[in-house]
Every structure is written in C-alpha cells, then in structure tokens.
Structure 1
Amino acid sequence: MTTVTEETRVAQFRRELGLDSLIDVHTHFMPGRVLDKVWAYFDAAGPLIGREWPITYRLDEDARVATLRGFGVSAFTSMLYPHKPAMAEWLNAWSREFAERTPECLHTATFFPEPGAVGYVRDAIDAGAAVFKAHVQVGAYDPTDPLLDDVWGLLADAGVPIVTHCGSGPVPGPHTGPEPIARVLARHPRLRLIVAHMGMPEYGAFLDLVDRHDGVYLDTTMAFTDFAEEFAPFPPVDRPRLLAAGERILWGSDFPNIPYGYAHALDALTRFDPGDDWLRAVCHDNAARLFGREHDG
C-alpha cells in the first residue's frame, strides 16, 4: 500500500524537476472481475509472465485513483485489452464510463482482430477516445491481420495514439518483436504508435522505428528498474540514441501491476543521467503535447 514516504519521494522527484504534475500514459484500470483475473494470472506467474511478480498496489479502484492523485499524476490511462473475440466492445463501454467519472483519465479504448472491429473503434473515436491499447503479446494476434487493416487506417486518419505491447518481453509471443509492427507502420506510416515498455528487450530495433517514423513513441514502462534490468537490461550503447529521441519518450508506469514502488520507477529514469530537460519532457511535456493536456501542471 502507498505510504506517505512513497508520496514524499514522488513529490521530491517532481519538485527537483520543477513539475507540478506527471502524465502517466500506461496505467491499468478495467472492470473488477477482469482485473481480478489479471492479478490471479500474475500471482500464478503464468506463462506470459515467466517469473514471480507480486502486485504492489493491490487496492480497490477508488484507492488506486487516489494513489495516483496523491503522486501528483494529472493525467493517466485505463489500459485494458481483450484476449479473445467479443470482449473489446464491452471493455470500451466500461472504459468510457470510467473516464466520464474520472476527470484525470484519458478516455481509453481497445480492439481485437474480429469482424466488426472497425465499427466499434469508430464508435469509440466518435465518443472521444483519446488513446487505444493494443496488446499483441496477450492477444496473441498478428497486427497485420486483414481484420485490423481498416482499424489501423481509421486510427491513422484520426491521429489517435495507440499504446502497443509489441516487444517480446517479458516472454515472446507468436507475433511479438519489431518486424510485425514495422509492417503495419509501412502500410500506415501516419500512425501515432506508442511502443510499450520501450519495446523491451528489443530496445535498439524499436529505436530504429522511432528514427524512421515521426509518429512512433516509446513509453518507459518498467524500463531501467531493478526488476527489468535483471532480465532485459537497457544496452549502454543505445544511451545516446535514447537521449536524442527525448521528445518521443513518454513516462509510463504499469501501475498498479508493478512489483516495486512508483517512486523507484521514477528514480530508475535517472540512472543514465539524462538531464533535467529530458526528464521534464518525458515525465510531462511530451505527453501534454500529444494529448493536448498542456494545462495539466
């Protein structure tokens, strides 16, 4: 559970950067019964997890929202995702209602390769969805599936960002890695794609996509933490490229499903000495521009 000490550490991190608030592009809120199943999967160290993974912020929904507010997070997401057909539209209805009653939440939606996907994605955009989540690892689908081609095209036309878990960490899936999503970007080069977890462990290959496509971003979720460095260390050779790409890196935490405190994840960003300007951009300013939240701190 969050303590005053944890809040104080996060507040000190913000204060040292001169930031009134943080914007976190990778937080999970979903229907209770779905989240319970996700937590049970983590507790069992399921095959997509591959290791012991305790949930630090196992709190009810109101307490989780209050925790982020206590950390000074002025905007966050409700990353949710289907693992089978006929789930996404229902999840989108829930997330729309959650965003309506949670002012800090960026209205989040999702999709799955299935007939009708383009229809409910269009409905979500029309309803004000600000960001989508695509989980290629959990969904075990090919992002180049023809059933998604019009979905990607619609999202590219609308300019709505998509946080996409397409890297091969923590455990590879049948369609993870940079190649499948690179084919999507080749067909839809105007996509605003946020690669979750910085594409770990294929950091360099996903930085290549940032170099090639103006609309590709990376979120920092779990990167550089002690937990991630044990199985997917960030390569020092790519440090200059990461610094140079600072305008396209976004703060993400994976809250509440993290096996360490929120402050540790922030502190981990400082390990390679990126400088205060880089940290301010990553932890607030880049996302503020992308989502039109410049007024949030």
Structure 2
Amino acid sequence: MNWTTYIKNYQSYLRIERGLSKNTIENYSFDVERLCLFLDQNQIQVSPVAITEETIQQFIYSVSKQVNARSQARIISGLKSFFNYLVFEDYRTDNPLELIETPKTGRKLPDTLSVDEIDALINAIDLSSNEGERNRAMLETLYGCGLRVSELVNLKISDLFFEEGFVKITGKGNKQRFVPIGNLTQKYIQLYKESIRNHLPIKKGFEDTLFLNRRGSQLTRAMLFTIIKDLAAKINLNKTISPHTLRHSFATHLLENGADLRSIQLMLGHESITTTEIYVHLDRKYLTEVMNTFHPRKE
C-alpha cells in the first residue's frame, strides 16, 4: 500500500473506531500529509511501514524552522497517533516517534472578555438587519452555554428543551451532554425563530438546524469567526478574539463567581478535569480583591 491508502484507512479508523469529528480527522490527517510532502520534496521514497526514526527527525528539524513550538508539538502528537494506529493494525512493530520528545510549550492561558466587553460586543449588533437577530441569538448562546463553534452551528431545534431549562449538545466524539440555558438566551432564540427563521426558504436537510444563513442552509464555522471579528473591530476591541473566546469567558466568569471546576467541566464537555483546570488563571488584581474582601485580617 502507498501513503494515500494508509491515510485513508487511518481516517476510517478515526471516524468509525474513535468516533472523532470531521474537523479533528482533517487535523490528524494534515500532520501525516505534511510528512508526505517533506518526503516528496526531498525525494525520499519510503513507505509508512519502513520509515525510520532518523527520517522522522529530519522532518521535525525541517518543521521546527517553519512553525512555533506549540505547532511543532501538535504535529509530533498527530504523527504519534498515526504510527500508533499502524502498530495497532500490525503494519509495524514499533512507533518511530516513541523516543522523540515533544518541545515544552507551557500552558497557554485562554483569552477572555469581561462582562462589559461581552455586552458591548452584543450591543454592537445591527438589529435592523435580518442577520442581526440571528447574530444576537448566536452570541448569547455561545456565551450563555459555553459552546464550541461546531456545537453551535450544528445545534438543532429538537435539541432545545426550554421547559426543562436545558439544551442537548453533541460534542467531540459525538458525545452528548445537557447544558443549562438561561431565560435571556431562550428569549433571544425565540425572537430569532419567530421573526427571522420561520420566514426563511429553508433548504432540504436543514429543517431542524437552528441557526441558518439567508439562503436557508447551515452556517459555516468561518462565517461565525467573521461575524465576531467584525463586531470586535466595530467597538475597537484591542484583543484578538474568536468564537472560542466566548466559551473561555463563560468558564472564567462561572469560576470567578464561585462555580466549582467539576460543574464547569460537565458543562464544557471536557473529558478530563485537567483540561478544565486551565481556567484557574484569575489574575493578581482579582485575587487581591478577594483577599481584601474576605480575609479576616484584611484591615
């Protein structure tokens, strides 16, 4: 088999056996395809079964000149996964990346917005346009429920359980969870549905999709990024933000207001509590305020 066949089999394994999303599978595949490109450019003819640690090291050295340590670590992780699959399927007896160390990157603290900044962002939406009501409902849902971008664009009307105060979210690996939804978020979703969505020419296959574009199809992830970046520019927000920033802010604000990590973990859909622990990054100013407010010897 050639590299293309191995990669296709690997993609099937990730989709069927691991239950990973399309975006995750594409990211894993990209790492292997990058290695293939390196081999082609350097006229190195070797199969995935025969490639050695030395050749992999040459590739990683080449990559290190082009990307930062964090991206390099991700590529190494992706390749380790691919070769672990080959070992699992008995194509190889060893993983050539077994002894290759991942560069230390430290833990990157997520960017967050203050409550006032989120309010300013949402208030900047032009509600005179049809997209305005939809955009407000989307941002309120992103922040109000702490969703990932893919979870928002794939949200179904049948996932809304307003009477019970929950929405059903399908997250990574098609794992489902129930997330509380506040009255304000419910209100803006209802407004969007009644005033905008119910009057759209909905295309076949998207009848149950909540957030639609003007042509009645599902929104893309890229469109959501564009909407938020445009709003940030509109209010002269001096921060680089994305839809994920609202998810980070959701978790941070819950933590600052006394929520426990385990509850936040369940709402975010994190597999491990260690992933959620990255939100314990309250700055010194906030910690000083806590000390001055609550310590018995504050005076």
TM range (shorter): under 0.3
More strand by share: 1
Highest CA radius of gyration, 1 or 2? 2
TM-score normalised according to structure 2 size: 0.22
TM-score (norm 1): 0.22
